[in-house]
């Protein structure tokens, strides 16, 4: 019998097996769909199981790049949440340090000596405050709950400096100075409990040089003037402390 003489119903009966064959090749096996669903569910559960972490206490030493400033103790706190993917953390950090000048001018310094002094000699010490947005990425060094984790990240924000005038500098009162700060960092996290671990971190604070201003009295009038030259406050930092995760 030729194909032309086939009835419409006969042709339709041949069409169904062809569609079924195409469908079988186009639709993934049930096992594949189940495996993908399980894998996706596990990844979502892992992402939500460690939603936050806190680095506190965070204590370290800040070593100035500027040779006229002394190293000092720096403390801070960092809070982060895990987002976008497993091991990626976003958050905030606040740091504080009180640091000293190496050679501040003393009482009895002559005007000629003051005019030749560096800006770092005009203050005795300074308070340093930093607030940054942070990003970190964890790289576990193996499998298991207590395996060390290497991490790298970046902090971007602002720093404020509040100098205390040296005893030999009475010409003006320093204003608070502000600057941009960028902090690349690397570190290791050593978990010793499901939710608690110790960390060791190396970072660098890159702060552009800036010039202080201050209030002085000229002819009985309060005037705001520039003080000295630009000062650099960049530091290399070594931190240690605890990490609390939940």
Domain assignments of the chain as residue spans, ordered by start: 10-49, 51-245
pLDDT at 156: 98
Residues 81-95 have pLDDT tens digits of 999 999 999 999 999
**pLDDT tier at 12 (50, 70, 90 boundaries)?**
very low
**pLDDT tier at 228 (50, 70, 90 boundaries)?**
very high
Average pLDDT of the chain, as a whole number: 87
Whole-number Å distance between alpha carbons of 181 and 120: 19
Instruction: Please give the CATH architecture assigned to the domain spanning 51-245.
Output: Beta Barrel (2.40)
For residue 176, give both structure tokens: 């608070």
Among 12-26, 65-79, 101-115, 199-213, which stretch is predicted with the lowest mean pLDDT? 12-26
Of 226, 127, 121, nearest to 172 (Cα)?
A: 226
Residues 151-204 have pLDDT tens digits of 999 999 999 999 999 999 998 999 999 999 999 999 999 999 989 999 999 999
b/e sequence 73-108, b meaning 16+ C-beta within 10 Å: ebbbebbbebeeeebbbebebebebebebeebbeee
Report the DSSP pairing between strands 196-205 and 221-231: unpaired
Residues 96-105 have pLDDT tens digits of 999 999 999 9
Residues 113-165 have pLDDT tens digits of 998 999 999 999 999 999 999 999 999 999 888 999 999 999 999 999 999 99
Burial of 54 (0-12, 13-18, 19+ CB in 10 A): middle
For residue 86, give both structure tokens: 């497993």
Residues 33-53 have pLDDT tens digits of 566 566 555 555 555 455 899
Q: What pTM was computed for the model?
A: 0.78
pLDDT at 19: 45
Cβ neighbours around 208 below 10 Å, total: 12
């Amino acid at each position: 019998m030729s194909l032309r003489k086939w009835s419409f119903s006969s042709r339709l009966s041949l069409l169904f097996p062809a569609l079924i064959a195409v469908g079988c090749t186009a639709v993934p096996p049930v096992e594949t769909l189940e495996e993908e669903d399980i894998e996706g569910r596990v990844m979502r559960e892992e992402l939500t199981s460690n939603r936050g972490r806190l680095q506190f206490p965070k204590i370290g030493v800040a070593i100035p790049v500027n040779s006229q400033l002394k190293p000092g103790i720096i403390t801070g706190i960092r809070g982060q949440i895990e987002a976008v993917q497993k091991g990626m953390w976003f958050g905030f950090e606040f740091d504080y340090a009180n640091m000293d000048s190496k050679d501040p001018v003393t009482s009895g310094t002559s005007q000629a000596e003051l005019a030749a002094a560096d800006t770092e000699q005009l203050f005795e010490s300074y308070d340093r405050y930093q607030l940054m947005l942070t990003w970190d990425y964890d790289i576990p060094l193996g499998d298991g709950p207590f395996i060390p984790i290497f991490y790298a990240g970046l902090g971007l924000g602002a720093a404020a400096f509040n100098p205390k005038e040296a005893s030999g500098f009475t010409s003006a009162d320093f204003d608070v100075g502000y600057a941009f700060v960028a902090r690349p960092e690397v570190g290791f996290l050593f978990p010793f409990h499901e939710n608690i671990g110790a960390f060791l971190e190396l970072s660098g604070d890159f702060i552009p040089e800036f010039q202080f201003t201050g209030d002085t009295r000229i002819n009985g009038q309060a005037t705001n003037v520039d003080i000295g030259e630009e000062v650099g406050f960049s530091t290399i930092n070594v931190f240690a402390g605890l990490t609390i995760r939940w």
